[in-house]
Chains A and B, each alone.
Chain A
Amino acid sequence: MPNKIAVEARNAVKVFGQGDTSHSALNDVSISIKQGEFFTLLGPSGCGKTTLLRLIAGFETPTSGQILLDGADITALPPNKRAVNTVFQSYALFPHLTVAQNVGFGLQMQGRPKAEVKATTAEMLALVKLDAMADRKISQLSGGQQQRVALARALAPKPKVLLLDEPLSALDAKLRKDMQIELKRLQHETGITFIFVTHDQEEALTMSDRIAVMSAGNILQIGAPRDIYVKPANRFVASFIGETNFLPGTTAPGGVRLDCGATVAVDGSFMPGKVTLAVRPEQVRVQGAGTAGAIPAIITNWVYFGTDTHCYLVLSDGSPVVARLQSPAMGEAGLEIGASVGVTFAPGAAQVLKD
């Protein structure tokens, strides 16, 4: 059954502290994570994503609400009684044990036979390509290697769910990209449900099957990366995932009348009144001044990024707009700072957002 639910949180609330100093880390969060899914909890620091992860791991107990694993209520179970393992942000590897002893620790604690511990440890070390390092001390490994040991250690007991708490945040950019691919591969090969916590939206978009965007203890939107990017539920999601131009305006027949005077056609229905229009930079086109239907703008700056060139513009009411253009298409003609141009949006690109 591909759509069986692996982990479920029902009305999970977590309040830290008491009385006046109490602070709510999670407000009534409900979530269902499917078996075999790569699920990401995404949000800025302090949004409650790590708290939710720790509730699933068992390091915290919810103030109210329930946590279910494979349909069974595990809210009251301690971490060592849950078939869930964690890859910690700091790795938390045992410094007094070798690489192999670290990887075999969970199996040993489960009381598996020695031969099985040995075999599974070897298998896991092969999986993360650390066979040659089995007898090293942890302190002799690089950051990336430690990361792999942490992964192998958490995967060795074959948990139902693997929790990953910002595991890539300590790595440099290059290693990070490699580990993203590596993690996807591991998830594919083991078939284990991954719950991944990150504040890096790019990481979330490239790796996840589904993403839950969190802010201030609430889940704002759950969906596939494309859905979240193309149809953000509100202004926070739109600004947190990718870059977005926000243009103030008022509803008008057939669309939105921007503060600069131009009217933009928008699909769908919305409440009349003051609104914000969101347009992704790659959906903005820069054309010659006076093009039919184009909004007049002035180029303030442009920056060359290789494949892309970012063009910074300003509308007549002072609203800034960024356009991400393909570099070759642009050529010589065009981007002079101070030049008057016309701006159009790709059909269906402009969206009205709730604040």
Chain B
Amino acid sequence: MAIGKDRTRRNWLLSAPALILLTLAAAGPLLIMVVYSFLSPGQYGNVQWIFSLEGWRSILFTEDIFEPGKYTLADAHLTILMRSLKLSLLTTLITALVGFPTAWFIATKPPKTRVLWLFLITIPFWTNLLIRTFAINEVIRNEGLLNSFLLWAGLITEPLRIIYTDTAVFIGMAYVYLPFMVLPIFAAIDRFDMRLLEAGFDLYASRLQVLRRVILPIVKPGIIAGSILVFTPSIGAYVIPRILGGGKNLMVGNLIDLQFGQGRNWPLGAALGMTLLVIVMIALAVYTRVTNRENDRG
């Protein structure tokens, strides 16, 4: 009994640093955000300690400047929220579609070359995100590499307008987050027993059926992990839409930045941050539920 108690105390002591760090670094700031979202904005930023629901209401409704008390739907905020959702879902989808064959390709290489391919996949991480994003800018801008090449080849007569559009943001995010999809799927395929492929073919399954009925259900945890790793930073992206969206095609991350900066509306910023968190949590819950149900159906 006494030994059991000692052990419990020792376990608490051992995990104390991690618990303290988690509380201070994760739960603490989150709590501050929750509190700020229910306060009133200060004149030059910061907050006034007066309870208000204005921050939360401003997410969806704007008060008329000339008629206080009259509220209209905040179209700008909705557009930005929808764009964030759309672009991050598209990014997740395209990285999964591109990442799965890539991961399969790497996982089926002999161990020696596999290390090399994995190494190549991680090379983009060596460079700062900002620099990589400017590099994409350099490729897709009107006088950039892509347009110069297409013009030179005679395939187009006018430069394609990609930069400062949703497409540009989408390309940037897909490029930057692709490794986050490839690596977990690779880990899942690496554990996959390739002999099951022969069993599938032996039992009259076509190539497509083997993919759908044998491979995908078994490596699904890897795809789910990859999707979470891509979707979560995508919907909160800040640098990429800032540079490739050219300040017009904002995403939630930029909107939040705006509220804490020029907008001087910290409660709204905090409320937007909490909204983002809730969206991510709902998306993950729905996603896991749907994929699990598919699995049960077999």
Contact = CB atoms under 8 A, between A and B. Distances in A.
Same assembly: yes
Interface of A: 57-59, 78-81, 84-86, 88, 90, 92-97, 101, 105-106, 109-110, 153-154, 157
Given A80-B204, A95-B218, A105-B205, 15 more contacts: A58-B201, A78-B201, A79-B202, A80-B203, A80-B205, A85-B202, A92-B195, A93-B199, A94-B196, A94-B199, A94-B218, A96-B218, A109-B203, A109-B205, A154-B203
Contacts of A90: 193, 195
A79 B196 contact: no
Nearest to A156: B203
B217 to A, nearest CB: 5
B206 interface: yes
A90 B196 CA distance: 10
A96 B202 contact: no
Interface of B: 193, 195-196, 198-206, 209, 213-214, 217-218, 295, 298
B218 A92 contact: no
- Main SS at interface, chain B: helix
Contacts of A110: 204
Contacts of A106: 203-204
B201 A92 contact: no
A349 B65 CA distance: 115
12 contacts: A59-B201, A80-B201, A80-B206, A81-B204, A86-B202, A88-B195, A92-B195, A94-B196, A94-B218, A105-B200, A109-B204, A109-B209
The 3 closest A-B pairs by CB, nearest first: A106-B203, A92-B199, A109-B204
A296 to B, nearest CB: 57
A168 to B, nearest CB: 17
A333 to B, nearest CB: 58
A92 B196 contact: yes
B200 to A, nearest CB: 8
Contacts of A93: 199
Contacts of A57: 198, 202
Contacts of B298: 97, 101
Contact of B214 (A78, A79, A85, A94): A94
Nearest to B201: A79
Contacts of B214: 94
B289 to A, nearest CB: 18
Contacts of B196: 92, 94
A57 B203 CA distance: 11
Given A59-B198, A88-B198, A109-B209, A96 B203 contact: no
A109 B218 CA distance: 18
Nearest to A81: B204
Contacts of B202: 57, 59, 79-80, 84-86, 154
A85 B205 CA distance: 12
Contacts of B200: 105, 109
Q: By CB atoms of chain A within 10 A, which of B201, B202, B298 has the most?
A: B202
Q: By CB atoms of chain A within 10 A, which of B201, B209, B218 has the most?
A: B201
Given A97-B298, A109-B209, A92 B204 contact: no
